[in-house]
Amino acid sequence: MEPEFHWETWRQPLIFLITAGVVVPLFRRLRVSPVLGFLIAGALLGPFGAGRLAEKFPVFSMVTIGGGAGAAQLAELGVVFLLFMIGLELSWDRLMRMRRLVFGLGAAQVVVTTALLTLQVGAWLDLGPGRALICAAALSMSSTAIVLSVLSETKRLNTTAGRAAFAVLLFQDLMVAPLLFMVPLLDAKSGALASSQLFWTWAPAVLALFALVAGGRLVLRPLFQLVAAAGSTELFMAACLLVVVGASVAIASAGLSMGLGAFIAGLLLAETEFRREIEVTIAPFQGLLLGLFFLSTGSHLDFARVLQEPLAILGFALGLVVMKAAILYVLARAFRLAAPVAREMSLLLAPGGEFAFLMIGAAMAARIIPDRAGGDLLLVVTLTMTAIPLLGWIGARSTKSRGQEDVQFAHLAPAFTVADQRVVIVGYGRVGRLVSDMLARHDIPFVAVDGTPQLVAKARQDGVEIYWGDATRPGISRTRRACGRARARRHHGRALSRRERS
């Protein structure tokens, strides 16, 4: 007896894949961020778009995107993979070098914005101080997923404005877990903060965080050395997915954000020789799951609610963007960022972010925030998030040329600086080592790639900047750009040119 086929099981995945196949090529051809395309598609196909039409015309039910738990979990994985990739691009040393922007500008933005928004939200929604504080903290967050995607697609991540925006976003990501802890500490009836439970809420999370860092330092490198020695691409991919999802689930089980666990795992792997190959392996999963996240975010947009109270909702959305942009601009200038840089960063970070859905959703589930008020806030956040690509374009047009900007302000965030030209040596055998010795003798920077894990491990112990990877894969172009820009020269274990020998 053949198993019964359930069309509903496959309907939403097919809709997503079809949407991705249409949105990405179309919007790239129009030179518009695909992020905006996914948000618009989510609004049109969601329960407030095609879902409402399906009530009168059942045929629209075939293309309606629902809000199932499975889709929500997959959408959350998009942010998880994005934060893992961010961690890979950083390291503990680089994070410490960025501490002035991360723990200075980032902390000031969260504190000042939350304090001022508490008054505004409390007056608009008629909420008590505790409930207004929860909502204001959620609205103070920015969209890590959309902002970094826009910066990456427009080649703006390595500008000073991109670095400053990333530093603020990084502190916001670190604050997600503490802010989420505030929700269960509020009494559902009175809205007062139950501070007596604070220690018992924090203790397991802190222990889990230390356990992940300590365990990761001991386990991750030997694990990938064993996997790399096996020579199986599928096994390596499985190990990458295991680390990302495993670290996220481990941290989430202790009450922390899944994205924080993935970010820490990326930081731990950033110092290993497997960093570049992991980046190439994970990139397709990140792009696909982020598209699902944006599609899910757009489905929260209720056009009918906007039409019912256009002045109130659109006015609050505009007020939120203006207030956050003004605060960010003043703080950025106080931290000695140039006016064009501060303007671009403030426009990018002024809209709301995806973590507002987590905080406000948790508060609504706990009956701390009324459903009507929470729904209006989520609608405001979604409206502002759809404006990020446009605001990013406006901000980029207002800044100075990229070269002048980086030269003048590179000292503010040196974590992203890359050598202008580095030779990439593909293969680090006998001839490859000879080439590296000659390059070092002439003070020519280089980076090496080899597919033998034992050789790579030994070379890294000797202080050579070398990564494990398969140079025949198409993704090696991504690795080459990451290691030394597109202008990097390659030497396949052959002798240097006559000019370089001299």
* Residue 5: band (very low, low, confident or very high) from pLDDT cuts 50, 70, 90: low
Residue range 452-489, pLDDT digits in tens: 888 888 888 887 888 887 766 655 544 444 444 434 44
Residue range 238-293, pLDDT digits in tens: 999 999 999 888 888 877 777 778 888 888 888 788 888 888 888 888 778 878 87
Query: Which sequence spans correspond to the domains of the chain?
Result: 8-63, 69-415, 423-501
A 10 A CB-CB count for 421 gives 13
Please tell me which residue, 403 or 238, carries the higher pLDDT value. Answer: 238
| pTM above threshold 0.85 | no
- Which pLDDT score, from 0 to 100, does residue 495 have? 42
Residue 174 clears pLDDT 70, i.e. is over it: yes
Residue 141 clears pLDDT 70, i.e. is over it: yes
- Which pLDDT score, from 0 to 100, does residue 177 have? 65
Q: Which residue has the tokens 């030779």?
A: 423
Residue 361 to residue 317: CA distance in whole angstroms:
18
What tokens were used for 162? 């991109």
Three-state SS sequence of 339-372: HHHHHHHHHHHCCCCCHHHHHHHHHHHCCCCCHH
Residue 177 to residue 185: CA distance in whole angstroms:
13
- Which pLDDT score, from 0 to 100, does residue 348 have? 92
Residue 109 to residue 177: CA distance in whole angstroms:
17
Q: In this prediction, what percent of the chain has a pLDDT beyond 70?
A: 77
* Residue 159: band (very low, low, confident or very high) from pLDDT cuts 50, 70, 90: confident
- Which pLDDT score, from 0 to 100, does residue 196 have? 52
Residue 330 clears pLDDT 90, i.e. is over it: yes
Q: Cα dihedral angle (311, 317, 319, 324), rounded to 10 degrees?
A: 180
Residue 490 to residue 362: CA distance in whole angstroms:
52
Residue 416 clears pLDDT 90, i.e. is over it: no
Residue 184 clears pLDDT 70, i.e. is over it: no
- The domain 423-501 having CATH identifier 3.40.50.720: the answer here is yes
Can you tell me the mean pLDDT for 92-96?
Answer: 69
Residue 134 clears pLDDT 90, i.e. is over it: no
- Which pLDDT score, from 0 to 100, does residue 66 have? 66
C-alpha count within 13 angstroms, C-beta hemisphere, residue 413: 26
What are the residues whose beta carbons fall under 8 Å from the beta carbon of 445, sequence distance 6 or more? Answer: 419, 421, 422, 423, 439, 484
Mean pLDDT over the full length of the chain: 77
* Residue 418: band (very low, low, confident or very high) from pLDDT cuts 50, 70, 90: very low
Residue 406 clears pLDDT 50, i.e. is over it: no
- Which pLDDT score, from 0 to 100, does residue 322 have? 94
Can you tell me the mean pLDDT for 398-420?
Answer: 44
- Fold type of domain 69-415: Na+/H+ antiporter like fold (1.20.1530)
**Is the Cβ–Cβ distance between 135 and 393 less than 8 Å?**
no
* Residue 343: band (very low, low, confident or very high) from pLDDT cuts 50, 70, 90: very high
Residue 447, strand partner residues: 424
Among 129-138, 394-403, 433-442, the least confident range: 394-403
**Is the Cβ–Cβ distance between 294 and 20 less than 8 Å?**
no
Can you tell me the mean pLDDT for 304-321?
Answer: 87
Residue 146 to residue 321: CA distance in whole angstroms:
15
Among 68-82, 209-223, 225-239, 304-318, the least confident range: 68-82
Residue 294 clears pLDDT 90, i.e. is over it: no
Residue 95 clears pLDDT 80, i.e. is over it: no
A 10 A CB-CB count for 170 gives 22
Residue 374 to residue 324: CA distance in whole angstroms:
20
* Residue 202: band (very low, low, confident or very high) from pLDDT cuts 50, 70, 90: low
Please tell me which residue, 458 or 113, carries the higher pLDDT value. Answer: 113
The conformation of residue 429, written as its DSSP 8-state character, comes to S
